[in-house]
A and B are shown apart, each in its own frame.
Chain A
Amino acid sequence: ETGVTQTPRHLVMGMTNKKSLKCEQHLGHNAMYWYKQSAKKPLELMFVYNFKEQTENNSVPSRFSPECPNSSHLFLHLHTLQPEDSALYLCASSFRQGPKTLSYEQYFGPGTRLTVT
């Protein structure tokens, strides 16, 4: 899984902690995504970045804050989370030929398993 990497793979944090998830893609892609995968629920798109610009915020609570410093790196900053935020957080990337064109299929990282206590 050298295409899209995520760190850490596992994270346990208290409700008052601040932590960050990191994603890095080595595929030359220019669009990056955060998804939340909870048990028995469909995959939820959280944020989309195209050419480093945020183009989608899918009604995500402000306790989740994304950052995309360049087209290869994506962060998800976490603070004052709730126990229901415990889930697998997946990063994905894809390629699009231009800002107004469709992007191709997405490639996923292995995920960060987050547990909020």
Chain B
Amino acid sequence: AQSVAQPEDQVNVAEGNPLTVKCTYSVSGNPYLFWYVQYPNRGLQFLLKYITGDNLVKGSYGFEAEFNKSQTSFHLKKPSALVSDSALYFCAVRDMNRDDKIIFGKGTRLHILP
């Protein structure tokens, strides 16, 4: 069965430092992977996706994610964190057996410290 894991409940990073939010996945077949962000009292916003091609995917707000097939990981990264990046981040993988079902991780809360 498809699954996605976010091993950290919370990540704290100082403003201006690089940030990484971790995600690992388990799928049968080729993965379709996504990152979403949720700000307080808001819905989820799509950040980026990996379907095929270049392992480094660039997305909104300066975020990027690196697909690593051998480690089955899809970590979210940003070179220099902003206080406004503080939010809840969700990694997700498409269930290829149920093509309209996206399986979400439990989320990682990112705190950027000024």
A residues sitting closer than 8 Å to B (CB atoms) are 1, 4, 6, 31, 33, 41-43, 45, 48, 50, 55-56, 90-92, 94, 96, 102-103, 105-111, 113
Contact = CB atoms under 8 A, between A and B. Distances in A.
Contact of A105 (B34, B43, B99, B105): B34
* Chain A contact residues, majority secondary structure: strand
Which range holds the interface residue count of chain B? Answer: 20 to 34
Contact of A106 (B42, B99, B102, B105): B102
Contacts, number: 54
A43 B100 contact: no
A102 B44 contact: no
B49 interface: yes
Contact of A42 (B34, B42, B46, B105): B105
A91 to B, nearest CB: 8
A48 B100 contact: yes
Given A42-B106, A43-B90, A105-B34, A48 B45 contact: no
A29 to B, nearest CB: 12
B65 to A, nearest CB: 13
A103 B45 contact: no
